[in-house]
Amino acid sequence: MERQQIIRKILDHKIVAVIRMEDANKLLNVVDAIYKGGVDIIEITMTVPGAINLIEKTAEKFGDSVLIGVGSVLKKETAQDAINAGAKFVVSPIFKEEIIDLVHKNNLPAFPGCFTPTEIYKAYESGAEIIKVFPADILGMQFIKAVKAPIPEINLMPTGGVTLSNIKDWIQAGACAVGIGTALLDKTAIKENNYQLLTENAQKALENLKNIN
């Protein structure tokens, strides 16, 4: 899948599951659970132990059925390692132009993390297809709406503060997609191997997207 196809899928599906967990041995089960619930775009963060190896294993198991990206990327070398392992998009908590350049050289999209309108526009000028608004729970939905008013062409994806029940609200405020972690990937459920709950959470998330005006 090439760069524009990847972006199109994210804009169409609108939900990126952000996986940040301590027990790496359960990651494939987690991906399988939310995939069964209909969420097939995931971001494996570099804070997961052995993240690069897990990206490779996930890519081998799910192939094109699941769109796999890497998150929490702080260095271009990390981005390249993840891409080599099978990551199809790269997400950062920060805006770093050299990471965007490296990812684009691999014909893949980069989503830098930004907090201010100036950062957002600089990232946009650097070619970032989607800007991760982070941490979005501090900025709120009104921030998305306010920034989109003068710069409607920018794609903003909030991460932080997204729940199963407010995804639709974020999209209606102007977000092109959302990154959702804890609310979708219940830590207690994972600890107790209750993967059915994760499947149900994924279904609820998708249900919340229905009937968007």
Predicted TM-score of the model (pTM): 0.96
**For residue range 134-158, what is the model confidence (pLDDT) as tens digits?**
999 999 999 999 999 999 999 999 9
**Is 132 exposed, middle or buried, given 0-12, 13-18 or 19+ CB atoms closer than 10 A?**
buried
Cα distance between residue 34 and residue 64, in whole Å: 15
**pLDDT confidence of residue 212:** 73
> Could you give the C-alpha distances from 1 to 25, 26, 69, 124, 213, in angstroms and in order?
27, 27, 12, 22, 29
Cα distance between residue 156 and residue 144, in whole Å: 7
The tokens describing 148, both together, are 């989109």
**pLDDT confidence of residue 210:** 84
Cα distance between residue 41 and residue 39, in whole Å: 6
C-beta separation of 137 from 161 below 8 A:
yes
10-residue block means of pLDDT along the chain (213 residues)? 94 97 95 98 97 97 97 98 98 97 98 96 97 94 96 96 95 97 95 97 94 68
- Catalytic annotation present for 132: yes
- Catalytic annotation present for 14: no
Give the CA-trace dihedral at 146, 5, 179, 52, to 10 degrees.
-140
Cα distance between residue 19 and residue 198, in whole Å: 12
Tell me which residue of 49, 84, 90, 42 sits closest to 70, measured CA to CA: 90
Residue 119 CB-half CA count within 13 A: 15
Domains defined for the chain, CATH in brackets: 3-210 (3.20.20.70)
**pLDDT confidence of residue 85:** 98
Catalytically annotated residue among 14, 43, 76, 96: 43
First to last CA, the chain: 29
Cα distance between residue 30 and residue 45, in whole Å: 14
Catalytically annotated residue among 76, 88, 96, 132: 132
Cα distance between residue 40 and residue 35, in whole Å: 5
